[in-house]
Amino acid sequence: MKEFLAINESTLIVDTEVDCDLYIKSHVNGVPRYVLFSHGGEMFRGDRRRKLVENNIDKLYVYANSYKSFNDYQEQNLKTILADDGKSSGEKSNIVYSVAKNLTQELLNDTKSGVKMDRVTSWADNTVDYILKDENAFSNLIKVTSHDYQTYTHSVNVSVLGLLFGKFLGFSQDSMRSLGTGLLLHDFGKIEIPLDILNKPGSLTSDELKVVAKHPEAGISLLTKEDNILKESLVIVAQHHENYDGTGYPNRIGGNEIELFARVSRIIDAYDAITTNRCYKNALKPFSALLEMRENMASCFDTELFKEFICFLGNANTLIKTDQPGKYGMQGGDIASVQNHSCIQPSV
Ligand SMILES: [Fe+2]
Ligand SMILES: [Fe+2]
């Protein structure tokens, strides 16, 4: 039996072509039945939308194996979707995340067709606009970030969280675009790591660690072939494992020799990894993750920036307007502790 996936009717844009067949779900004697609503390639007209609204239908369905076409449709129309006042901020966050997830997955799986830089920068442009203009973007993006680790979900989490932190730090719109692009691609060099090492449950041998440690340089050598990637984005790929105390890799540079964006990414990258489930360890909750970073990794980070990050997550709680705080959201008591530990008594 074919598997269908639900999509929200409101993600469709009037007068656009949707490349995949769309179905309506009905029930006959309690058994679900999918009835063709429109063929792939057909124009979605205003009268079709009215018909759905009149019949209180807010979900349509696509074949699971055509979902990529639907995601491509969302990616191509992302600017319009994000500018549409009729769509909720939560819906927009879901689409921003899902477009980035599919794009990154494609980049990491299909290495032959290049990096598709125009698609990456277009996603970053649109996401930065959304984050800067929509005050609910924070709350909603935090809610949709993935709890389970894959290189592509980690890349999207790091990019989204880094952009929200960039807004908190007051970065310019142009800076945020380079930051978002660099963070989405920061682990791109991992495509050169053999899968048995990349997905190995448990700790790596010293030889395997040496292979993993090559991914920043591998990323740079792949990405410098691209014409339209900015230096500010590349620096993130090159330096995101450099530690502030000079003990990182690949070049063991330290302090402000490490560019600002790379110092930001060192913090975000570590935080996302610690708060994500891995096959060999469970995710830490946000507050425990911050304590772990403070107790055992503080010398890896730019001290002032790490203090800002703790304040950012503390302040974030006031922005989370939902009962489901999501992966990075903290509870009230945690916030007070974090602020006591770090914002009020800056001692990291
Ligand atoms: Fe990395
Ligand atoms: Fe990473």
The reported pLDDT for the residue numbered 282 is: 82
Instruction: Compute, in angstroms, the gap from residue 253 CA to the centroid of ligand 1.
Output: 16
Contacts of 109 (CB under 8 A, 6+ apart): none
Tokens encoding 143: 């809610």
Ligand having the closest approach to the CA of 265: 2
Measured CA distances, 11 to 62, 95, 167, 257 (Å): 13, 8, 27, 45
Structural domains of the chain in order of their starting residue, each with its CATH number:
1-66 (no CATH), 77-343 (1.10.3210.10)
Question: Is residue 203 predicted with pLDDT exceeding 80?
Answer: yes
What is residue 329's predicted lDDT score, i.e. its pLDDT? Answer: 57
The label of the residue with tokens 């489901």 reads 324
Q: Is the pLDDT of residue 215 over 90?
A: yes
Rounded distance from Cα 278 to ligand 2 centre (Å): 13
pLDDT on residue 115: 67
Nearest listed ligand to the Cα of residue 155: 2
Residue 226 has pLDDT above 90, yes or no: no
Alpha helix (H) residue ranges in the chain = 46-54, 67-76, 78-83, 89-109, 117-133, 137-144, 151-168, 173-184, 195-198, 206-212, 215-223, 231-239, 260-274, 286-296, 303-319, 332-338
pTM of the model: 0.87
**Of the bound ligands, which one is closest to the alpha carbon of residue 151?**
2
pLDDT value at position 324? 52
Q: Which residues contact 253 (CB under 8 A, 6 or more apart)?
A: 239, 242, 246
Q: In angstroms, what is the span from residue 275 Cα to ligand 2's centroid?
A: 13
pLDDT tens-digit series, residues 278-287:
777 788 888 8
Indicate the DSSP class of residue 339.
Answer: I
- In whole angstroms, what is the distance from residue 55 CA to residue 180 CA? 41
CA 230, 232, 233, 235 dihedral sign is positive
d(CA 41, CA 205) in angstroms, rounded, equals 51
The region of weakest confidence among 205-219, 278-292, 295-309, 315-329 is 315-329
Work out the angle between the directed axes of helices 151-168 and 303-319 (0-180°, nearest 10). Answer: 90
Cα of 155 vs centre of ligand 2, distance in Å, is 6
Does position 170 have pLDDT exceeding 50, yes or no?
yes
CA of 239 to the centre of ligand 1 (A): 9
Q: What is the mean pLDDT of residues 45-51?
A: 92
Tell me, what's the pLDDT at 21? 94
Cis peptide before 32 (omega within 30 of 0): no
Nearest Cα to Cα of residue 233 among 102, 137, 115, 134: 115
Tell me which ligand sits closest to the C-alpha of residue 215. 1
| 58 alpha carbon – ligand 1 mean position (Å) | 40
Query: Given this model, what pLDDT does residue 255 score?
Result: 97
124 pLDDT band, cuts 50/70/90, is: very high
Kindly state the average pLDDT of the residues 265-281: 89
Give the distance (Å) from ligand 1 centre to CA of residue 240: 6
What pLDDT score does 266 carry?
98
Q: What is the mean pLDDT of residues 292-302?
A: 95
Query: Residue 147: what pLDDT?
Result: 78
- Quick one: what percent of the chain has pLDDT higher than 90? 66
Q: How far is the CA of 11 from the centre of ligand 1 (A)?
A: 33
The CA 19 to ligand 1 mean position distance, Å, reads 36
Which of the listed ranges 120-124, 310-314, 320-324 does the model predict with the highest average pLDDT?
120-124
Share the mean pLDDT of the chain: 88
What gap in Å lies between CA 204 and CA 191, rounded to an integer?
18
309 has pLDDT over 70: yes
> Which sign, positive or negative, has the C-alpha torsion 219, 223, 229, 230?
positive
Q: Residue range 136-147: average pLDDT?
A: 87
188 CA to centre of ligand 2 in angstroms: 9
Do the bridges between strand 59-63 and strand 31-38 make them parallel or antiparallel, or are there none, so unpaired? Answer: unpaired
Cα(159) to centroid(ligand 1), Å? 13
CA of 161 to the centre of ligand 1 (A): 16
Q: How far is the CA of 179 from the centre of ligand 2 (A)?
A: 14
CA angle 41, 44, 45 (to 5 degrees): 140
- Span from the CA of 230 to the centroid of ligand 1 (angstroms): 19
- Ligand 1 centroid distance, CA of 262 (Å): 11
Indicate which ligand has the atom closest to the C-alpha of 268: 2
Question: Is it the case that residue 153 has pLDDT exceeding 80?
Answer: yes
- Structure confidence at residue 110 (pLDDT): 76
Q: What is residue 344's predicted lDDT score, i.e. its pLDDT?
A: 32
**Distance from Cα 178 to the centre of ligand 1, integer Å:** 17
**What's the average model confidence in pLDDT over 95-105?**
93
Give percent of the chain with pLDDT exceeding 70: 89
Would you say residue 111 has pLDDT above 80?
Answer: no
d(CA 15, ligand 2 centre) in Å: 39
- Cα(250) to ligand 2 centroid in Å equals 14
**Range with the largest mean pLDDT of 63-72, 174-183, 333-342:** 174-183
Q: How far apart are CA 27 and CA 31, in angstroms?
A: 5
Please tell me the predicted confidence (pLDDT) of residue 347: 31
Distance 104 CA to ligand 2 centre (A): 13
Could you tell me the distance, in angstroms and rounded to a whole number, from the CA of residue 90 to the centre of ligand 1?
A: 29
| CA–CA separation, 227 and 225 (whole Å) | 6
Question: Which ligand is the nearest neighbour of the Cα of 237?
Answer: 1
Residue 153 CB neighbours (<10 A): 20
Please indicate whether residue 181 or residue 313 has the higher confidence score (pLDDT). Answer: 181
